[in-house]
Amino acid sequence: MNAIVEARGLARDYSMGSGAVHALRGVSFDVQPGEFVAIVGPSGCGKSTLLNLLGAVDTADAGSLTIAGERIDRLSDRDATAFRLRRIGFVFQRFYLMPALSAAENVELPMAEARIARDERRARVQELLGYVGLAARSGHRPSQLSGGEQQRVAIARALANRPALLLADEPTGELDAATGLEMIDLFRRLNADGTTIVVVTHDAQMAAAAGRRIQMRDGAIVHGDDA
């Protein structure tokens, strides 16, 4: 079976003041379809940089990256945007829902951008909000929802266009312990239902829930590299 993620020798430098920061130094790994992978490591080790490359919101200075069979390391901005819309689902630490839109509208947003027919969008919104347990809260604005509920809406939004890969950056970082556990259960359920997940986390319980852990330090994988 082809890997969903094939990363080979990924490097990313940032210029800072007079010198350069080597955020990633030749990272290589694979993620197989249906895997739940946690990327762990201390702050500043390059986890979020790696996630940004996987999500095509940033480009590597060196190396190659193939996601769902498509080379994304040299995509134009337009192609990268289209790729993110249809192949990637993003979940952020701070949820980042559109405050002026309702939960349903937030979930509908990527589908509207993908020009999916209105009826189909509405049906999918109900399905997704039902899946994350928020069917009754579809008309609520983010400010009327708890942190856990907002993160569930964000997950529903990430799944809207049936992505090949779900990326999550510290999804329990803003949640209390009990809500964090609920979120971990939701990620487990998503994975059990076939979603390929890569999560960057400091949360030991979230990392434990993943099927595989990739340990990073100083921009390199120190454990869990199977490429």
Tracing tokens 């949820």 back to the chain, one arrives at 95
How many Å apart are CA 151 and CA 96, to the nearest integer?
A: 9
CA angle 132, 137, 139 (to 5 degrees): 125
Question: Would you say 154 or 208 has its CB closer to other proteins?
Answer: 154
Tell the smallest beta-carbon distance from residue 88 to other proteins (Å): 7
How many Å apart are CA 188 and CA 182, to the nearest integer?
A: 10
Tell the smallest beta-carbon distance from residue 1 to other proteins (Å): 26
Tracing tokens 């509908």 back to the chain, one arrives at 108
CA distance to 99, 159, 181, per residue, from 103 (Å): 9, 14, 22
Question: Would you say 123 or 222 has its CB closer to other proteins?
Answer: 123
Question: Would you say 174 or 182 has its CB closer to other proteins?
Answer: 174
Tell the smallest beta-carbon distance from residue 39 to other proteins (Å): 16
| Positions that interact with other proteins (CB under 8 A) | 48-49, 52, 55, 57-58, 77-78, 81-86, 88, 90, 92-94, 96, 98-101, 105, 108-110, 112-114, 157-158, 161
Question: Would you say 98 or 123 has its CB closer to other proteins?
Answer: 98
